[in-house]
């Protein structure tokens, strides 16, 4: 039954993804904000289909912690789900993502149209420079920046090593860091077609204020982010 329900989900989700990506490309001529609003549909449609076919619900905790000013959002990375859903939760932002995604027809073009910062992971030095330069420009333009410090999707319960790029960006841009935890990998595991019923919880944690980002050492902030996110993931079952 889980196999059938998962296949039904993809039978609708893939056409929705293509259609919404095309709408993003069309509305981009009216500005990035217009395209961003259309992009919200991807998350809403995806979660509606997950609930309908797979019995997956979504719970959001801590929205009151989202700063009123642009910040660096730091989250664990377990699934494709957070990529689709974060635009429905947070203010306008750009993703840090691997450049190869931009080569996917229509979908990748839509990511480019939304201003994603595409890095070449095989060249860490250049990637870090790119994140700092383009990330600061986006923050100054009033958009948040989402960073997955593990660098790649990790199975639920098995966090990867956190990299310091998000902290370095926040320090240079003099903005707050917003830690976010979720357990999406339990219901939508990395690299698997099957979707398991349950509740995906996003827990938005209290931010690290811009003043504290400046005052504390880089490694101390990174450790704080990692510790708080991992503890929250364990608490919500991810």
Give CA–CA dist 131/169, Å, rounded: 7
96 or 53, greater pLDDT: 53
DSSP 58-97: EEEE-GGGS-SS--EEEE----SHHHHHHHHHSSSEEEEE
Domain boundaries, the chain: 58-236
CB 46 within 8 A of CB 21: no
- Name the percent of the chain lying above pLDDT 90: 77
The Cβ-side half-sphere exposure at 83, using a 13 Å CA radius, reads 19
Please determine, for residue 151, whether its predicted confidence score (pLDDT) is greater than 90. no
Average pLDDT over residues 4-18: 95
Nearby residues of 74 by Cβ (< 8 Å), 6 or more positions away: 147, 149, 166, 177, 178, 179, 180, 225, 229
Q: Is the pLDDT of residue 121 over 80?
A: no
The residue whose two tokens read 């993703």 is: 95
For residues 51 and 1, the model is more confident at 51
pLDDT in tens, 168-189: 999 999 999 999 999 999 999 9
| pLDDT at residue number 143 | 95
How much is the pLDDT for 68? 94
Q: For 118-122, what is the mean pLDDT?
A: 81
Bridge-based pairing state of the strands 198-204 and 144-147: unpaired
Selection from 203, 219, 168, 221 nearest residue 76 by Cα: 203
Which pLDDT score is estimated for 125? Answer: 81
Q: Band the pLDDT of 196: cuts 50, 70, 90.
A: very high
Q: Is the pLDDT of residue 98 over 90?
A: no
Whole-Å CA distances, 205 to 30, 178, 230, 236 = 34, 7, 11, 13
Facing residues of 203 across strands? 61, 181
pLDDT score for 38? 93
Q: Provide mean pLDDT across the span 67-78.
A: 96
* Structure confidence at residue 141 as a pLDDT band (50, 70, 90): very high
Question: How many residues in the chain?
Answer: 238
Q: What is the pLDDT of residue 54?
A: 97
Q: What is the pLDDT, as a whole number, of residue 212?
A: 96
The whole model's pTM is what? Answer: 0.93
Percent of the chain at pLDDT exceeding 70 = 100
Q: Residue 28's pLDDT is what?
A: 94
Range with top average pLDDT, 113-122, 145-154, 208-217 = 208-217
**Domain boundaries 58-236, CATH class:** alpha beta
């Amino acid at each position: 039954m889980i196999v059938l329900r998962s296949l039904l989900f993809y039978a609708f989700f893939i056409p929705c993804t293509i259609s919404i990506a095309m709408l993003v490309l069309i509305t981009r001529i009216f500005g990035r904000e217009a395209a961003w609003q259309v992009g919200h549909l991807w998350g809403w449609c995806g979660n509606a289909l997950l609930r309908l076919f797979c019995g997956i619900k979504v719970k959001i905790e801590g929205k009151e912690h989202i700063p009123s000013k642009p910040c660096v959002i730091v989250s664990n990375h377990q699934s494709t789900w957070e990529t689709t859903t974060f635009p429905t939760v947070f203010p306008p932002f750009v993703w840090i993502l691997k450049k190869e995604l931009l080569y996917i027809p229509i979908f990748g073009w839509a990511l480019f149209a939304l201003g994603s910062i595409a890095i070449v992971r095989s060249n860490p030095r250049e990637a870090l420079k790119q994140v700092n330069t383009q990330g600061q420009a986006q923050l100054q333009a009033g958009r948040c920046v989402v960073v997955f410090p593990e660098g790649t999707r990790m199975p639920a319960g098995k966090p990867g090593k956190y990299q310091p790029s998000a902290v370095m960006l926040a320090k240079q841009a003099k903005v707050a860091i917003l830690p976010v935890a979720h357990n999406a990998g339990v219901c939508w595991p990395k690299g698997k077609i099957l979707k398991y019923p349950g509740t995906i919880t996003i827990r938005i944690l209290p931010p690290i204020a811009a003043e504290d980002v400046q005052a504390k050492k880089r490694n101390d902030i990174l450790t704080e982010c990692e510790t708080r996110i991992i503890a929250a993931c364990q608490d919500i079952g991810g």
